[in-house]
Structure 1
Amino acid sequence: MASSFHWSRYLLILGMSGSLLGCIMDSRQSEVSAWMAREKSQAVPNIQPLREPLVFQPVAYDRGSAEDPFAFEKLARVFQSGQVRGDTRLIDQHRNRRKEPLEAYPLDAIKMVGFMQKAGKPTALVLVENHLYQVVAGNYIGQNYGLIRNISETQMKLQEVVQDATGEWIEQSTVLELQE
C-alpha cells in the first residue's frame, strides 16, 4: 500500500509539472506569434519594376550577287579540276619534320590542366590519357600540326594547319582553355 501511495504521489507531481509547463509554453508561443504578426505588418517589400523589353527589328538578309558559300557547284568545280589550290608549303614543312608525341592525339583529347613558370618560360601542363605532359611555346600538339604560339595562366593559343572544304591548306587559330 505504501508503494502505491508513493507512485501516485510521483504521478501527481509529474501531472502538475506537465500542466505548469504547458501554461508556460503556451504564453511563450503567444509572445512569438504576436512578434511575428507585428514584424510581418511592418515589412515593406522592395521589388524593382521590370525594364521594358528591347524591341527586336528583324533585318532581311540580301546576299545580292554574292556566291553561295555552300553551293554544290562551287565545290564540284574545284574537285573536277583535280588540282588542290592553296599554298602547299604550309603542309610540306610539317610533313618533313619529326613528329612530337602529343601530335598522335586529337586536340579534343588533350586538356590543359595547369600552368607554371619553368626557368622563366611559361609552361602548360596538359593531360592526355591519364599522363601529364609539360609543353612550352614552340611545341606541337594535336593531329592538325598545332604549333603552340602563346601560353598564359588560363589558355594556350595554337596555330593549326587544316584543309578547308575546297581542299586548300589554311592556317587556323585555336585556343585550348584551362580545365578546372
Structure 2
Amino acid sequence: MTRFGTAAGAAAALLAGLALSGCGNNMSDLRSYVEDVKSRKSSDIEPIPQIKAYQPFTYREQGRRNPFVAVVTTSSGPDRASSGVQPDFNRNREPLEEFPLDSLRMAGTLDIAGRRYALVQAPDNVVHRVRVGNHMGENFGQIVSIGDTRIQLIEIVPDGMGGYMKSEAALAQSE
C-alpha cells in the first residue's frame, strides 16, 4: 500500500507541475491582439430611422352596417324558434344528464325479465343502469336503442339560428 501511495503522490505532483507550467506570464500575444483591434478604423453607425406617428382609424358608417349590432336575416320560411323540436325544460333531469356524452363509457348490457339494460360508467366512476327512454348527456339525449356494444341516442341540439334540431349520437362500448 505504501508503494501505491507514494506512486500516486508522485503522479499527482507531476500533473500539478505540468498544469502550472502553462500559467506563465507571457501575455505578449494577447497584448498585440488588443492593440490590433484598437487600431482598426471604426465604421459609422447609421442613425435610427424616424418612427412615423400613429394615425388612428376612424370608422365612418356612411352606408355600412354597424359592426356592433347582430346581423338579423329574414327567411321566408316558418319561424325556426317556434316551429320544430323543443327540449322539455320542465322535465326532471336524470343523473347522467350532468355529464358530457363523450365522458360517459358503456360498460356492458343486462337482460332482465325480457328487458334490455345498458351499464354506463360516469366520470365519477359510478355505474348507472339505463334503458330505452332514459336520458343522458348534456344535449337532452334520449336513448332509442341498446345493442350489444352500442347505445343509440337522439340529442336535441341548438341549430345556431335560435331553434333546435335532432341529432343522432351513439355511445360505443369501450374495450
Distance, in Å, in 1 between the alignment partners of 2:83 and 2:95 is 24
Which amino acid is 1:110 matched to? L
Classify the secondary structure of the residue corresponding to 2:165.
Answer: strand
Structure 1 residue aligned with 2:164: 169
Which residue does 1:122 correspond to in 2?
116
Q: What are the ranges of 5 or more consecutive residues in structure 1 without an aligned counterpart?
A: 1-74
Instruction: Provide TM-score, normalisation by structure 1.
Output: 0.51
Counterpart CA distance in 1 for 2:82 and 2:105 is 31
Q: In the alignment, is residue 153 of structure 1 matched against residue 153 of structure 2?
A: no
- Distance in 1 (CA, whole Å) between partners of 2:173 and 2:73 is 39
SS in 1 for 2:72: helix
How far did residue 96 of structure 1 move?
A: 1.5
Please say if residues 84 and 165 of structure 2, whose CA atoms lie closer than 8 Å, have aligned partners that are also in contact: no
Is 1:78–1:166's contact at 8 Å kept on the other side of the alignment?
A: no
How far off its partner does 1:76 sit?
3.2
Which of 125, 132, 136 in structure 2 is aligned with 1:137? 132
CA distance in 1, matches of 2:90, 2:85: 11
Which residue type is aligned with residue 113 of structure 1?
Answer: A
Query: Aligned-residue CA RMSD in angstroms?
Result: 2.1
Alpha-carbon distance in structure 2 between the residues aligned to 1:139 and 1:166: 28
Q: C-alpha offsets along residues 41-100 of structure 1, whole Å, 9 cap, x if unaligned?
A: xxxxxxxxxxxxxxxxxxxxxxxxxxxxxxxxxx93349xxxx724566325x1021111
Q: Deviations over 1:128-152 (max 9, x none)?
A: 0211111000100011110000001
- Rounded to whole Å, the distance in 1 between the matches of 2:157 and 2:142 is 12
1:91 to 77, 86, 90: 86
**Is 2:84 aligned against 1:104?**
no
In our comparison, the structure showing a higher alpha carbon Rg is 2
Give the Cα–Cα distance (whole angstroms) in 2 for the partners of residues 89 and 97 of structure 1: 18
Distance 1:151 1:87 in 2: 32
Which secondary structure does the structure 2 equivalent of 1:171 belong to? strand
TM-superposed deviation, 1:166: 2.2
Residues 78 and 144 (structure 1 numbering): CA distance in 2 closer, same or farther, change over 3 Å? farther
Q: Is the 8 A contact 2:106 2:172 kept in 1?
A: yes
More helix by share: 1
Percent sequence identity over matched residues? 34
Matched residue pairs, number?
101
